[in-house]
Structure 1
Amino acid sequence: MNNIVHVISHTHWDREWYMPFEKHHVRLVTLMDELLDVLERDAEFRSFHLDGQTIILDDYLQVRPDRREELEQRIREGRILIGPWYILQDEFLTSPEANVRNLLAGWQAAKPYGRWTRVGYFPDSFGNIGQAPQLIAQAGMTAAVFGRGVKPTGFNNYVRQSDSYESPYSEMYWESPDGTKVLGILFANWYNNGMEIPVRDEEATAYWDERIAAAGQFASTPHLLLMNGCDHQPVQADLSAALAAARRLYPDARFVHSNFETYIEQVRAAAPEKLNVIHGELRSLRSDGWYTLVNTASSRINLKRQNALGQLELERVAEPLAAFAFLQEVAYPHHLLAYAWKTLMQNHPHDSICGCSIDEVHREMVTRFDKSFQVAESIALDSAEALAGKVDTSCFAAYGNALPFIVFNTTGWPKHGVVTVELETQRLYLAEGKPAELKQRLSSLPFRPGYVITDSGGSLEAQVEDLGVRFGYKLPEDRFREPYYARIIRLTFFAGQIPALGYRTFAWATGTPPAASFTPSPLVTGPRSMENEWIRVDIADNGTFTMLDKASQTNYSGLGYFEDTGDIGNEYVYAAPQGHSALTTEDSPMSSCELVENWAGAATFEIVHRWAIPAEADSMLQEETDAMVPFMERQAQRGKREVPLILRMKVTLERGARSLKLSVHYDNQAKDHRLRICFPAGIQEDSHYAESVFEIAERSNAPYSEWVNPSYCHHQQSFCGMDSGEAGLMAAGLGLHEYEVLQDGRNTLAVTLLRAVGELGDWGVFRTPEAQCLGEHTAQLSLIPYSGKPFRTEAAVEAYRRSVPFTVSPTGLKSGELPPTHSWLQWEGDGLLLTSVKVSEETGDLVVRWFNATKQPAFLTLDAPSGAGGVWNKSNIMEERLHRLTPGQDGRVQLPVRSAEIVTVVYVRTGQGELPLE
């Protein structure tokens, strides 16, 4: 059968990368102007694929609002194709919910134009998540196109040949862990294999002979894909003439100026019955391991931390609190949340969040992170204050001087732990007198001891700090600002159980507390040991510690040592100097170990290492960088000069906690190195697991035989771990996305805390001194021991629960419509992990999402939201109502959930267009 050559015009538009955003922005405007001009004058130029990013429309129209009508017309005609994404993200380094919101934002941006490309488009993601087929299928797509993950792609996107592809063809089926299967199209010759097509016969003949043969080598059908474009590639204005020449020179072939939907439809119709099925994650594991680009997970670690904090505040705090307030008839701030999400997602393009751009790009990211977080935090605090204002606190009236406050738990599980709150004991407005006099009056007030009261009348021990007098202001909605001074105290206490997706009310009262009903046993049990109901910790002379998990009676020893190695790679790839040996703290005594916190709720030891490490690589690294010597061939070594690296690790055990908290603080003054913290699991298994996007992925400890890179690092969302049938150890972190299981006989989990390098890498010489990450850093982790594989998801619940802080809102003494302790939503489901509670902008429905973290079917059981009237509906990630769910005799809904299924339900309030029962 004769070949049908599908030429798809596009440009891969990295919004920022080797130039800052605005310089790329200028070139984008030029490109779009030229594209509209070409479409106007050349009817044969059928269509242009706008790289999947609807944000390009905003960026262009920001400068060219005068061409909006023309742009809309071309999109409606199908000559400019947009979507499905808002931005082209890195899938592994953005949260599950961020991946969903990216699709939702792309869809919402495309709706006014009347067209949305329903193709899962992953042209340059640095590996592809295993649940991508399920995600895009829930969005109504049946095919995905991608450039990485199946065959090795090397320097400057050069595609290298190998005999070990997961598929011999560029066409295959891609299956998620839940069994969802879509047609997968690999850019087997990259997404630039049809760029700059010649018009002149002699050049065109040489071009087409080579390009058709290369595409045909991998195609399973006569339909050959040639991508007419590349990174920031201008529109080929003479393409119609080039295709006319091709048709004349190759009369036996058909040359079509095509688009993805047409091409995929024809490939599907012509595909052979048996195509390879590839399963789950696509991470180029059948390669030499040098160009998987996994080490972008540790480039510019400070940005990863900011992103994790921003995602957490939006999806685990602000949205649930706003949704609870919505159920109490408070308007849901769709517009503000959309703005915060879009601002955050502008940092999620793969060359941005991966930390592999020039310094100017990443400086601008910090501002965007701050802006998004500030909006999310404002939404959270405003929602909490609105809810607190509706809570009945009259149970504290008998105490007279009580100061009530509400502690919110926005996770999907009951939670106890340490609560910290700042309270105003007295406030004086500046309108009442001169500032100095007001401040003096407040300062002279005596400090009075007191205690925390529970809503049931019990008393709790609290650590109390007098913070003195502080300036503040009130911003009423109906009048001018009201500045004041206030006397502030800070309370820290151990709260009993706070309901899932709910709150509990407490108050501070001065005076003598009632006699305690019991005296808790001390957590500190020795000069360097501590113990609670579940865990015992003993600190050794070298600063490592042994942790006993009482439930499984398993000891984990040698935990928490540090490793430092040289790094002569770049922002994309870690490369240790040849013949290097790692420096560790294992064989040296720690500098000090001091008990810095000891009370009924928590105990903390601070372990200090005063280390000297090489200050930078030797001078050869700069020479090799300037000469673009491949990092595998570099001869540079670590330099002789040393600088101090002082590591301060706080190890905290809270009462009742099944996890151990670690906080590592250090001031990095060294360049060209990598720092990791290591936890020997001591569990002899051949595989381990890590949290990925809507999945706990199983991974082999050892690479395939093709792998030659000495490093075998992996991505994680927030945790990784190792378990057997009887014991397990999980390491969870905040914004720490890179880990490795060391082949050291102990199956050590090594989590990267810092990677300091000085160049971008890839196709040119781009110095990035700020990627050396000089200055102060803090890393937060938790160690979670558990009783083996059957309890893995319980450990994941602990990681999720511990990652989300309590939200605390002071309030007054008053009656209210809400009880002192309350939960808005109660659910059950073994193995299910909750990821989202929000309100749909499209329908106004309450949206709740989980994923099944196990390989077993499960059931989700749901009560109606407290105080609401309506019905539950099964939905998809696009928040579309699929069918109504039937309550049982007890009024609860029970929904079967497949293994690894992402399940979304929506609560449709009465009168909001309920679907009939299925």
Structure 2
Amino acid sequence: MAQSKTVHIVSHTHWDREWYLPYEKHHVRLVKLMDELLAILEKDPDFKSFHLDGQTIMLDDYVQIRPEKRELLEKYVREGRIHIGPWYVLQDEFLTSSEANVRNLLYGHRDAARYGAISKTGYFPDSFGNMGQAPQLLRQAGIGNAFFGRGVKPTGFNNEVSEAAAYESPYSEMIWEAPDGSRVLGILFANWYSNGNEMPVEPGEAVAYWEQKLQDAEKYASTPHLLMMNGCDHQPVQQTAAAAIQTAQALFPEQRFVHSNLADYAKAVSENVPEHLSVVRGELRSQHTDGWSTLVNTASSRIYLKQMNNQGQTLLEKTAEPLAVFAHLTGKAPYPHHLFEYAWKTLMQNHPHDSICGCSVDEVHDEMVARFAKSRHVAEAIVSDSLDALADEIDTSRFGRFLREGETAHPLAVWNTTGWKRSGVATAELEIERIYFRSGIGFAEMKKTLKTLPIGRLRMIDPDGEEVPFSYEDLGIAFGYDLPDDRFRQPYFARKIRVRFEAGRVPGIGHKTFAVVRGKQGGAGIAGRTAAGLAPANAPAGNDAPRPSLVTGPNRMENEYLAVTIEHDGSLTVMDKATGRMLRDLCIYEDTGDIGNEYMYKQPDGDLPITTKGLAADVTLAEDDPYRASFDIAHTLRIPVSADDTLGEEQRELVWFTGRRAGRSSVMTDLRIYTRITLEREGQGILVESAFDNQAEDHRLRMLFKPGIVAQTHKADSIFEAAERSNVPAAEWKKPSNCHHQQAFVSIRDERQGLLIANQGLPEYEIMQEESTAGIAVTLLRAVGEMGDWGHFPTPGAQCKGKHTARLMIVPFSPDELGQGKGGLDEEGAMVLAHQFQVPWLAQQTGMHGGRLPAVHSYLSWEGKGLLFSALKMSPEDAVVARWFNTEKDPRLLRIEPSFAVQEARESNIMEEPLERVDLAEIAAGPAEIKTVLLRPKT
């Protein structure tokens, strides 16, 4: 240690908002910590600064209890003694959506700005792996560095790093590069973010402490600047930090010890780094480590939470925000920024890594369920208000020209808030008559009138008067109420029907209207079903005419694109008509034991998978409509009820999961699995819904797809990219499984055939490499009984007992132009279907009236090969924010055609800051670039 060094000591706490204690118990401890921090800042001018863990939610949580301390907090933030932001929460990057990661930065920045200063530090201290596009997101937010703890293997400066070792670095400092080429200075906590914790004040202890700590830091440092993180998880403030620094300085005068902060440290390092730092590219997922440290199996802990999160994110970013933009552009409704902030923040309170990862005690995850519901209810209210405003503005008068004598029309509008044209089966509830309680009609007479009201013959038409295939259920009478803005609530009874129909070619970011036409009893049309699915007793005649069917044989259905056969064991064989290739062994179930914990999957030694391969299944026809066919498949798997008794003993004695010897119980139980397979007339994917009631413990259930495709790599939907990953881990990988994260899909392909598996809220998959072919396994359930990590924390809720439903879609695609020329999807088209699969159809009844909006309308149309649509919202300055990202490795062009008058169009960054003006007819999107455009409407 002859060379002079500067030792940067950064006081901090890593604050898991909830984890091994419920939120409110951590909350109490946070208030104590913050009280102590403010007190030490006030009384000790030598306590220079404190890093508040990169997340502004800690401030909200504190002032909720201590509102009188807000001014004092603002004072120390402005003075640079408390460093806050840039995030709202320290999220798990892979289990939250692309747009949720952006909102996290947006709201973190806005909150920090209200306190007076933003820490421009890309802080990822304990992320379970890092998203590949993080450098681009950080650069767009004006941040040039990233601090992280996992995903790169430090080798020490005496070790050589090979060219192939893309995730190794001799130093704790490196260049981290995103797929688009954006670069930041990456700083790895090579000795973790607690390497300067609890510094001794007493000289005798301090000598040994600092000799070891300095040696450890120097091993990986590329500059004379050493980082010591003075804190750890939920660590109270070390009030003697200033005195301990003085002790260290006296003992080691050849070094310079400073009470520093991350911004000053990053600046000092960037001014002194060697010319040729290692460059790590893309996702930091420990490809070249032992595979354990990124804790990937948290993707399958408590999958019900992931499904709720997927629903909540989709509802906000893909439904509520676009609809609120549409309503705002009509002038009928102001954009509810305040409600969106509340809904997003409530949702993001579930996004910290120990929360959304499902790796906390049961009380934490019980509270998360309530938060998901709260956020969802606000989003649903925004959607309802927007649809009401929009439906009144749509011109439906054209349906009048298609009515026959004695007919009445009940128009409805269908919204497609995805970025692409869409066809599919939609459902809507319609009132055919309503009577308000205020009408003066007696209660009994009101109900009798509606109950005995003849529905008559029904038909459905599109805006051109063309007949639309549909079916309906008579729902009888239903209570409802209006909540007017200017009167007391208005209750009523209504006679309702539920219609299901094929919504064809609905424009992207737009709507299309339809009408249910009701004729007199005995007229032409179709009769429906009652709510129980039975033909009504008074069903009119003429309902037995042959209807086109997608069912082409026993256990077989097909449309223009696909032919699906259900084999005797319930697996699917699918023919892709564009390529002529048969894809076999799809939708096989596999169950294995799991003696791990909420963090890690661990299959017992010698455990053999129990599968439905070759197991006879019960197959029945469930639906046979002109627009859709479905089969139901029932399996009974005999599986162990739990692990054997050894597991409980090993858990109590803190036997690390890798060394456990427990097996599965010899007591067996039945796991009944019900699968519905659906093919729509215009569908280029096969819908799969799996339902089961789990009463077993300590096991994992997956769905397997083994299509016989030869592939060495695969693609997975990730944060603003379709990440290409190797099917086989690096040689250093020691973990038995090779699971990964996904967002909307995972896909494999060879020269002749591709297969994409889309999912709704099932983020864990594994590529099964068998000789030369690759298959896909998607986790549906993982049931374990303990939290894991540093002690014994039983979590019976993580056994996930009860009813579960999982939804997937099988999408064959054609990698070559020949198959695409025959009507097959290319890979981009398959990705589009996967993204659309996330977003529900929305339908709203309206009346017969004129309006400013046409019957078929897109609010914003666009073209751009290789680009995926990501967001449509309003900025705080009420500019329309539209975002895409380029999935390709070469530049692409984007063309935008808004249907509204635009005063000004500018490029933007993810922070919604206006940049240079753009020509909407030709916007350049670089390789893998996240492209945001601001459109200021004319008023």
Check whether TM > 0.5: yes
Matched, 1:540 2:543: no
Once the two structures are superposed, residues 425-473 of structure 1 have per-residue CA deviations (whole angstroms, 9 ceiling, x without a partner) of: 1111122334333222211112322011211111212111101011111
Question: 1:276, 1:78 → 2: CA distance?
Answer: 32
Matched, 1:380 2:383: yes
Matched, 1:487 2:492: no
Q: State which of 868, 871, 889 in structure 2 corresponds to 1:836.
A: 871
Matched, 1:901 2:929: yes
Contact 1:76 1:114 in 2 (8 A): yes
Once the two structures are superposed, residues 752-788 of structure 1 have per-residue CA deviations (whole angstroms, 9 ceiling, x without a partner) of: 0000000000001000000000000000000110002
1:718-797 matches, cutoff 5 A: 718-745=744-771, 746-788=773-815, 791-797=826-832
Matched, 1:873 2:875: no
Amino acid at match of 2:420: W
Matched, 1:712 2:738: yes
SS in 1 for 2:881: strand
Matched with 1:133 is 135
Aligned-residue offset at 1:684 = 0.9
Matched with 1:358 is 361
SS in 2 for 1:256: strand
Question: 2:770, 2:547 → 1: CA distance?
Answer: 41
1:400-799 matches, cutoff 5 A: 400-431=407-438, 432-511=440-519, 512-513=523-524, 521-590=548-617, 592-745=618-771, 746-788=773-815, 791-799=826-834
Aligned-residue offset at 1:292 = 2.3
Matched with 1:889 is none
1:32-71 matches, cutoff 5 A: 32-71=34-73
Contact 1:152 1:287 in 2 (8 A): no
Question: 2:25, 2:783 → 1: CA distance?
Answer: 26
Contact 1:459 1:513 in 2 (8 A): no
Matched with 2:535 is none
Question: 2:926, 2:884 → 1: CA distance?
Answer: 12
Task: Name the CA shift for 1:503/1:51 in 2 (closer, same or farther; >3 Å).
Answer: same
Question: 1:867, 1:203 → 2: CA distance?
Answer: 71
Once the two structures are superposed, residues 31-62 of structure 1 have per-residue CA deviations (whole angstroms, 9 ceiling, x without a partner) of: 00000000000001110000011011110000
Question: 2:915, 2:161 → 1: CA distance?
Answer: 44
Matched, 1:244 2:272: no
Contact 1:407 1:504 in 2 (8 A): yes
Question: 2:290, 2:40 → 1: CA distance?
Answer: 43
Task: Name the CA shift for 1:11/1:3 in 2 (closer, same or farther; >3 Å).
Answer: same
Contact 1:389 1:816 in 2 (8 A): yes
Matched with 1:177 is 179
Aligned-residue offset at 1:721 = 0.9
Contact 2:595 2:662 in 1 (8 A): yes
Question: 2:22, 2:662 → 1: CA distance?
Answer: 30
Question: 1:107, 1:224 → 2: CA distance?
Answer: 28
Amino acid at match of 1:741: I
Q: State which of 390, 394, 413 in structure 2 corresponds to 1:391.
A: 394
Question: 2:512, 2:569 → 1: CA distance?
Answer: 42
1:106-121 matches, cutoff 5 A: 106-121=108-123
Aligned-residue offset at 1:152 = 8.5
Contact 1:723 1:789 in 2 (8 A): no
Contact 1:724 1:789 in 2 (8 A): no
Amino acid at match of 2:837: R
Amino acid at match of 1:797: V
Once the two structures are superposed, residues 391-425 of structure 1 have per-residue CA deviations (whole angstroms, 9 ceiling, x without a partner) of: 11111234352111111110100001111111011
Contact 1:327 1:868 in 2 (8 A): no
Contact 2:463 2:514 in 1 (8 A): yes
Once the two structures are superposed, residues 587-637 of structure 1 have per-residue CA deviations (whole angstroms, 9 ceiling, x without a partner) of: 2111x1000000111000011101111000000000000011111110100
Matched with 2:848 is 813
Aligned-residue offset at 1:800 = 1.1
1:73-152 matches, cutoff 5 A: 73-151=75-153
Question: 1:90, 1:902 → 2: CA distance?
Answer: 20
Matched with 2:890 is 856
Task: Name the CA shift for 1:295/1:131 in 2 (closer, same or farther; >3 Å).
Answer: same
1:327-338 matches, cutoff 5 A: 327-329=329-331, 330-338=333-341
Contact 2:744 2:838 in 1 (8 A): no
Question: 1:879, 1:851 → 2: CA distance?
Answer: 15
Question: 1:571, 1:261 → 2: CA distance?
Answer: 35
Contact 1:604 1:650 in 2 (8 A): yes
Aligned-residue offset at 1:370 = 0.4
Contact 1:677 1:750 in 2 (8 A): yes
Aligned-residue offset at 1:327 = 1.1
TM-score normalized by the length of structure 2: 0.94
Question: 1:372, 1:149 → 2: CA distance?
Answer: 32
Amino acid at match of 1:257: H
Where do 5+ consecutive residues of structure 2 fail to align? 527-541, 818-825
Contact 1:459 1:514 in 2 (8 A): no
Question: 1:708, 1:81 → 2: CA distance?
Answer: 39
Contact 2:154 2:170 in 1 (8 A): no
1:313-328 matches, cutoff 5 A: 313-328=315-330
Question: 1:435, 1:682 → 2: CA distance?
Answer: 65
Contact 1:173 1:276 in 2 (8 A): yes
Aligned-residue offset at 1:513 = 4.8
Calculate percent identity across the aligned residue pairs. 53
Aligned alpha-carbon RMSD (Å): 1.7
Matched, 1:885 2:918: yes
Amino acid at match of 1:748: G
| More displaced 10-residue stretch of structure 1: 448-457 or 596-605 | 448-457
Contact 2:758 2:837 in 1 (8 A): no
Task: Name the CA shift for 1:372/1:789 in 2 (closer, same or farther; >3 Å).
Answer: farther
Question: 1:338, 1:900 → 2: CA distance?
Answer: 29
Contact 2:458 2:525 in 1 (8 A): no
TM-score normalized by the length of structure 1: 0.96
Aligned-residue offset at 1:519 = 9.1
Question: 2:921, 2:32 → 1: CA distance?
Answer: 55
Amino acid at match of 1:817: R
SS in 2 for 1:285: coil
Matched, 1:340 2:343: yes
Contact 1:566 1:577 in 2 (8 A): yes
Aligned-residue offset at 1:710 = 1.4
Contact 2:150 2:293 in 1 (8 A): no
Aligned-residue offset at 1:64 = 0.3
SS in 1 for 2:293: coil
